Amino acid sequence: MIQGHGDDAYRYGREIRANFSSNVYRHVDLGPLKEHLAAQLDAIGNYPEPEPYTLETAIARMEDVPTEAVCATAGATEAIYLIAHAFQGSNSKIIGPTFSEYADACRLFAHSAALVLNSEPRGGWYPASEHFSASETDTRAAGRAMVWLCNPNNPDGRVIAKSDLMAAIEKHPETVFVIDQSYGSFTQEALMTAREAAAHQNVIQLHSMTKRYAIPGLRLGYVVANPNIIKKIRQVRMPWSVNAMAIEAGLYLCGHPDTAPIDLPALLSEAKRLRSRLEAIPGIRVVPTDTHFMLCRLAEGRAKELKDWLAHEHGILIRDASNFEGLDEGCFRIAAQTTEQNDTLAEAIKAWQEAHR
Amino acid sequence: MIQGHGDDAYRYGREIRANFSSNVYRHVDLGPLKEHLAAQLDAIGNYPEPEPYTLETAIARMEDVPTEAVCATAGATEAIYLIAHAFQGSNSKIIGPTFSEYADACRLFAHSAALVLNSEPRGGWYPASEHFSASETDTRAAGRAMVWLCNPNNPDGRVIAKSDLMAAIEKHPETVFVIDQSYGSFTQEALMTAREAAAHQNVIQLHSMTKRYAIPGLRLGYVVANPNIIKKIRQVRMPWSVNAMAIEAGLYLCGHPDTAPIDLPALLSEAKRLRSRLEAIPGIRVVPTDTHFMLCRLAEGRAKELKDWLAHEHGILIRDASNFEGLDEGCFRIAAQTTEQNDTLAEAIKAWQEAHR
């Protein structure tokens, strides 16, 4: 695996007061879930189901698809590795810049993988486009063709228009589309539903309960796809990969989907406000986003230095995004937090820019 | 993955009062650990370290080896899959009958794998021997040679004499020996130490905190090997595979190794008593064991039927061992429990035998 994911507060010796580095939206009430888990701690003393069928059944009911169309995983990350394994040796295109794990997993499982930068540069520096082009999914080399994409995309928050995506899927029935919807609960743009994913023969959809419910410590995600594909994925998974506490949490959340509610319009509105504040700082650019996190770039200087300074001087954590393939050393990613925290961040970045121009 | 692991109480509609099916020894006091975890539930809201270095450092200190000689994993099972992946395409010999995951993992990662039955039949029916022969580790086919073994072995509890094992390791420096010591805390026989494992270039030692501390729900294990080997294994692991609750538990247990103490002499003595009681039942054979669990066989009839009958009639769960490669449909495995429970089991099996002969 590569180094340099977000949420790396453990690297700094001081307290982090505001954490913008992870896309997990933490300002939700996990009280009821924690109370439930505290009462279920006896579960640590028993093996979980080797394959978490009971949880998969509950997820299937929630998503209105057959149980055979669901594979529960230890976070969306395990799903990415299982898919890369199940389809090893494929000819993969990864629509980027994006989450590095697709490329890492492809490399580990002998895919011929290429990063395809979503075209149409914006403002002369950022290669991702607002428009997804079906031609980017063409694969000409030998072997099974796969396309990997994240929707909304990490790190820029862009959503590919549903009609464009559906058109590409229909136009290339032999190409398997891996669509990571980990951030699907954090956009108001139209996305493919689980039922639509399961109805196609060439779609693998990823979901993250980690992201939706702000429980990244537990590792819980799932794949929705046609049962033929799910069968293939289940064949390469190891037993007990989803631990008992994650299963208990998943069962609880399927039964109580309104746990940890998010006021999405308010969150997106606050994200928009933060973006405007940052854009107003000379030397800072922000890519338009369809969700609560956004990709920014320093016109001059390195994001790593800004990151270290924010952590040490302000107890603020951001995500250095320079290690996303296709991005440069000026790039960083932030996820909107509370109004007060967002203002603090904007002020701090402004002070940094004023001192470094 | 294959079907048919132990601890499958979820298959039965009734309460299981005594569970002999898992090798996890549950009669330990998990109170302090549970109390600690209940106080650490906030950890579910943060990403764990992508690679659990802090935990690996704590384990290394406990085992008196360098941190670079330790890889913490989501149970010993993840370790098995990572090793098979890191050494994919090897020419593997698996000393059996044994835990099925070695063969499953080898198959998933294109090993040329062969089960080698530990020779010298005992009592005319069981292929495992008391003596491990170094010649069984000879590999003649092309490719890197690996030997996989479990010590004490699952399902029969046999320990390979340390001198025999060390001789084989020294004699075959080009062969990588994977030695699963998941049950290492449950025998009084001499085993290779972590320091000895790390000092060799061809040894990979597996440890299970799941087994030692009776926390199979959490998934926590680790590999000890030479840093060159650990580096290779770390290269194929996915980020965040060890979840935050398992890391919290691991850190606590490294700091409080006397948590959940086991009176090993008493446990092994009780296991010996149980074995004698079972051996006294006509038509039942038990393989001599060096630990608290043991492999049994019905002279006539199927273990699966006995298992179902015990579950439905007595609320007792045993492990049908007929799916271990090399064993037949009469084989079952049991792990010693309390004296009272062991007596109940022996009485119930006696009643079954009397009704079915």
Beta carbons within 8 Å of B94's beta carbon, 6+ residues apart: B102, B103, B106, B113, B114, B115, B116, B147, B148, B149
Q: Is B43 on the interface with A (CB under 8 A)?
A: yes
Is B145 strand, coil or helix? strand
Q: Band of the pLDDT at B356, cuts 50, 70, 90?
A: confident
**pLDDT for position B138:** 57
- Contact between B335 and B183 under an 8 Å Cβ cutoff? The reply is no
Is the CB of residue A5 less than 8 Å away from at least one CB of chain B? Answer: yes
Residue B200 near residue B169, CB atoms below 8 Å: yes
Under the banding of pLDDT at 50, 70 and 90, the label for residue A122 is very low
Q: What CA–CA distance (Å, rounded) separates A107 from A101? A: 10
Q: How far apart are alpha carbons B118 and B126 in whole angstroms?
A: 10
3 state SS for chain A = CCCCCCCCHHHCCCCCCEECCCCCCCCCCCHHHHHHHHHCHHHHHCCCCCCCHHHHHHHHHHHCCCHHHEEEECHHHHHHHHHHHHCCCCEEEEEECCCCHHHHHHHHCCCEEEEEECCCCECCCECCCCCCCHHHHCCCCCCCEEEEEECCCCCCCCCCCHHHHHHHHHHCCCCEEEEECCCHHHCCCCCCCHHHHHHCCCEEEEEEHHHHCCCCCCCCEEEEECHHHHHHHHCCCCCCCCCHHHHHHHHHHHHCCCCCCCCHHHHHHHHHHHHHHHHCCCCEEECCCCCCEEEEEECCCCHHHHHHHHHHHHCEECEECCCCCCCCCCEEEEECCCHHHHHHHHHHHHHHHHHHC
pLDDT beyond 90 at B117? no
How far apart are alpha carbons B3 and A144 in whole angstroms?
A: 29
Chain B residue whose CA is closest to A48? B217
| Closest among A26, A8, A1 to A304, alpha carbons compared | A8
Q: State the nearest Cα–Cα gap between B32 and chain A, in angstroms.
A: 12
Please write the tens of the pLDDT for every residue from A218-247. Answer: 999 999 999 999 999 999 999 999 999 999
Query: Between residues 286 and 325 of chain B, which touch chain A (CB distance below 8 Å)?
Result: none
Q: Which two tokens stand for residue B168?
A: 């084989």
Q: CA–CA separation, A204 vs A69, rounded Å? A: 10
Q: Is B152 on the interface with A (CB under 8 A)?
A: no
Distance in angstroms (rounded) separating the CA atoms of residues A22 and B48: 12
| Sign of the Cα pseudo-torsion (B191, B196, B198, B201, in order) | negative
The Cα of B214 is separated from the nearest Cα of chain A by a number of Å equal to 6
CB A80 within 8 A of CB B251: no
Q: Evaluate if residue B130 carries a pLDDT over 70.
A: no
- A 10 A CB-CB count for B127 gives 16
pLDDT the model gives residue B141: 57
- B202 at interface of A, judged by CB pairs closer than 8 A: no
Q: Are residues B38 and A38, on separate chains, in Cβ contact within 8 Å?
A: yes
| Region of poorest pLDDT, from A143-147, A347-351, B56-60, B130-134 | B130-134
- The mean pLDDT value of chain A amounts to 91
How many helices (H) and strands (E) are present in chain B, helices listed first?
A: 12, 13
CB of B66 within 8 Å of any CB in chain A?
Answer: no
Q: Quickly state the pLDDT bin for B171 (edges 50, 70, 90).
A: very high
Residue of chain B with shortest Cα separation from A238: B1
Tell me which H or E stretch contains B298.
Answer: strand B293-298
B128 pLDDT higher than 50: no
Q: State the residue for tokens 């449950």.
A: B186
- Is the pLDDT confidence value at A120 over 60? no
Most B-contacting residue of A28, A238, A251, A323 (CB-CB within 10 A), to test interface: A238
Nearest residue to A185 via CA among A209, A165, A166: A209
Q: How far is the CA of A236 from the CAs of A116, A347, B180, in angstroms?
A: 27, 49, 21
Mutate: best of A47, A53, A88, partner B, most B CBs <10 A: A47
What is the DSSP track for B253-265? HHH-TTSS---HH
Output the average pLDDT for chain B. 91
The answer to whether residue A77 neighbours chain B at the CB level (below 8 Å) is yes
Query: Is any Cβ of chain A less than 8 angstroms from the Cβ of B89?
Result: no
Of B37, B45, B78, the CB nearest to A215: B45
Determine the pLDDT at residue A12.
80
ipTM score for this prediction: 0.90
Residue B10 has pLDDT above 90, yes or no: no
CA angle A304, A310, A313 (to 5 degrees): 130
Cβ–Cβ gap A41/B37 under 8 Å: yes
Q: What is the pLDDT of residue A139?
A: 53
pTM to 2 decimal places: 0.91
Q: What tokens were used for A337?
A: 């937090």
Q: Does the pLDDT at position A124 exceed 70?
A: no
Ramachandran category for residue B338: left, alpha or beta (phi over 0 → left; psi -120 to 50 → alpha): beta
Indicate the pLDDT class of residue A135, thresholds 50, 70 and 90: low
User: What was the pLDDT predicted at A312?
Assistant: 94
- Return the number of other C-beta atoms located less than 10 Å from residue A154's C-beta: 26
Q: Does any CB of chain A come closer than 8 Å to the CB of residue B105?
A: yes
Determine contact: B39 vs chain A, CB below 8 A.
no
Owner of token pair 């951030």: A183
Residues in B closer than 8 angstroms to A237, CB to CB, are 1
Minimal Cβ distance to A77: which of B42, B75, B238: B238
CA B309, B311, B317 angle in degrees (round to 5)? 120
Q: Which is more confidently placed, A134 or B204?
A: B204
Question: Which amino acid type is present at position B92?
Answer: S
